[in-house]
Structure 1
Amino acid sequence: MPVFGSSSPPLPVILLTDFGVADPFVGQVKGVLMRLFPKVRFVDLFHDIPPFAIKSGAWMLERCLPHMPSPAIWLGIVDPGVGGGRRGLVVQSGGSYFIGPDNGLLTPILNRHDARVLSLDTLGDAETVSPTFHGRDLFAPAAAHLLQGRSVSDLGTPLIDPPMLLADPGWRKAGHGAWGTEVLFVDHYGNLVTALPGEELRKRPVKGWLDGIPCGGIVTTFASVPVGAPALVVGGFGTVEVVVNQGNAANHFKRGLGAEVMIRVEEG
């Protein structure tokens, strides 16, 4: 682990939160890290996970992980149970560290065969830790601890009880040549991004229904259909998306997070 003052650059800290950017929450987390480790390097992956949407956060983590620097230190903060009975976790896997709440957010990492999981229990005290802001007062100092070259073992103790895992991946097979899935993310363009991996389709021609409303067939690119027409594409996340060419599918269909999408192979 690179240490402060060494010639090697420190590990980047990758931030994935539901904080948004209208409040000072992201700035406070980054400020704590910079105060404790001035040479910190940040990747602001995303701060607009829908509020409290743990499944969306876990999906985003899994889908973005292959494109991020590694090794790294991840701070995942989608934490509706902050201050309650849920634990904080530090997970070591593949040379990287993942810090966040024990609420299913870190499921993609916890499912790895090499995951080493500790309960974060040695930093802070009741007088210095806000019960509603563990991201700033527990998780950020834990990341700084690692950046300083200190042992992960100093952060907590190995878990005895298993961590919480999300059992529902957000999609299912609904019969031969059919799938059911849900919208887990609505991007800036209004594309309705589902949980269904594109490889499930195996390049077969399919059509989709969004909450029972026809939403087009599968195409390779947005420009494969006329401007204003809906379609299905396998987007940059590698999952099926409901889109409108040069339009906003969320507005077009008046649907968003959690909407159900049924997809079936075309007959004939």
Structure 2
Amino acid sequence: MATNFYKNQSEPKTILKSTGIVTLLTDFGLQDTYVGAMKGVMLGLQPSLILVDLTHEIPPQQILAANFQLTTIQGYFPPGTVHLAVVDPGVGTTRRAIAVATAQAWLVGPDNGLFSGFLAQDPPLAAVELTNSHYWRTPTPSATFQGRDIFAPVAAHLAGGVPLAALGTAIDPATLITLPNLVPRRFPVRGRSLDGSPADASPTTALVPSDSPDSPDSLSAAQWVWQGVVQHIDRFGNLITSIPASVVPAEPWLVQLEYLQIPAVTTYGTHNGTHNGTHNSTHNSTHHGTQTQGQLVALVGSQGWVEVAVSGGSAQAILGVTVGQPIQVRTRDGC
């Protein structure tokens, strides 16, 4: 009897139909031929594939950045697209090579958390470990280039109509690796700062997790703080956090980065003379165009996350922040 690889349900009557589209996201860059080799393998198997480069400029081995970039393309491709992602610092180790089916797409790549954000929005229905070497480029793949020898041919076969179950051993989607600290946490503000002074006397306010027994039963919006991390730094030096627009308070708000408080603005249109998307927040009345050049601002970006930017410059260069840096969103009255 065939293994039922669909989680908590019988196999659907209608299986996701391939579009023949495969997207590619890697940290390989464009100086070398790694990306070209992967495309050659796929086109050799399925010459009619439509190959779309998402980006190959993920900083080397930065899984968090890859996770963010994959999340930002959801909803732009038709159902049945195969997303191939290779940012794989664990290549050659015991980390699993996987393919995942969701309601909208297939995902192919290493099981290291880079699909965490995508799967949070489009949950996995099924997953397999890629153990069937019949669908690899070679039964003896390179220990350092499995993107070419395993992931690329598997993506091509999926796009060509090979069933997910044929590609390897079924695994429980609940066992897929997820990245820690991506989901922002809400904390109530305690009455004292870390040094024991009144909370409004210090920008660093003592916090208690919302599930703590000491948490108040009912707090106003001004008494809550959202804790997240910097999940990506874009080419303009904008700091893109893991805090979504949906939790931004209606009151005037700010971002706190260690001891620095950065007020929010409403819109943000250009950066360094280059159009950088339209960023909107309905929660404050200040327009970025009125800001002094070099002034740090917080805003809700076009991709739906709280960001820190600087008018006419790079927030990353000014602050020296790296991916993973803790960051908070709070109302100005909640300081």
The question of a shared fold, defined as TM-score above 0.5 by the shorter chain, is answered with yes
Q: Deviations over 1:170-223 (max 9, x none)?
A: 532232331222211111111111111011114431122323223333433242
Is the counterpart of residue 244 in structure 1 residue 310 in structure 2? Answer: yes
Q: Deviations over 1:228-263 (max 9, x none)?
A: 221011112210110011221111222232233222
Change over 3 Å in CA distance of 1:89–1:79 after alignment to 2: same
CA offset at residue 71 of structure 1?
Answer: 2.3
Q: d(CA) in 2 for partners of 1:155 and 1:164? A: 19
Identify the range of structure 1 (252-261 vs 138-147) with the bigger mean alpha-carbon deviation. Answer: 252-261
Q: d(CA) in 2 for partners of 1:214 and 1:165? A: 30
Change over 3 Å in CA distance of 1:114–1:256 after alignment to 2: closer
> Partner of 1:229 in structure 2?
295
CA offset at residue 110 of structure 1?
Answer: 4.5
Q: Deviations over 1:133-173 (max 9, x none)?
A: 11111000001112332222221121158222234215322
> Partner of 1:154 in structure 2?
166
The percentage of aligned residue pairs carrying the same residue is: 33
Q: d(CA) in 1 for partners of 2:257 and 2:118? A: 31
Q: What is the SS of the residue equivalent to 1:189?
A: coil
Q: d(CA) in 1 for partners of 2:262 and 2:182? A: 22
1:72 partner letter: T
Q: How does 1:195-210 map to 2 (within 5 A)?
A: 195-210=242-257
> Partner of 2:32 in structure 1?
23
Is the counterpart of residue 186 in structure 1 residue 195 in structure 2? Answer: no
Q: d(CA) in 2 for partners of 1:77 and 1:223? A: 39
> Partner of 1:122 in structure 2?
132
* Ranges in structure 2 where 5+ consecutive residues have no aligned partner: 1-16, 189-222, 269-287
CA offset at residue 70 of structure 1?
Answer: 2.8
Identify the range of structure 1 (163-172 vs 130-139) with the bigger mean alpha-carbon deviation. Answer: 163-172
Identify the range of structure 1 (215-224 vs 50-59) with the bigger mean alpha-carbon deviation. Answer: 215-224
The question of whether the paired residues in 2 share the 8 Å contact of 1:208 and 1:261 is answered with yes
Is the counterpart of residue 172 in structure 1 residue 161 in structure 2? Answer: no
Q: What is the SS of the residue equivalent to 2:307?
A: strand
Q: d(CA) in 1 for partners of 2:26 and 2:80? A: 20
Q: How does 1:2-41 map to 2 (within 5 A)?
A: 10-41=19-50
Q: d(CA) in 1 for partners of 2:177 and 2:319? A: 34
Task: Return the TM-score normalized by structure 2.
Answer: 0.71
The question of whether the paired residues in 1 share the 8 Å contact of 2:249 and 2:331 is answered with no
- Of 83, 86, 91, which aligns to 2:92? 83
Q: What is the SS of the residue equivalent to 2:156?
A: helix
The question of whether the paired residues in 2 share the 8 Å contact of 1:93 and 1:109 is answered with no
Q: d(CA) in 2 for partners of 1:186 and 1:37? A: 35
The question of whether the paired residues in 2 share the 8 Å contact of 1:205 and 1:218 is answered with no
> Partner of 2:64 in structure 1?
55
- Of 170, 176, 179, which aligns to 1:163? 176
The question of whether the paired residues in 1 share the 8 Å contact of 2:182 and 2:242 is answered with yes
Q: What is the SS of the residue equivalent to 1:208?
A: strand
* Ranges in structure 1 where 5+ consecutive residues have no aligned partner: 1-7
Q: d(CA) in 2 for partners of 1:64 and 1:40? A: 19
The question of whether the paired residues in 2 share the 8 Å contact of 1:181 and 1:260 is answered with yes
The question of whether the paired residues in 1 share the 8 Å contact of 2:228 and 2:327 is answered with yes
CA offset at residue 224 of structure 1?
Answer: 4.7
The question of whether the paired residues in 2 share the 8 Å contact of 1:10 and 1:39 is answered with no
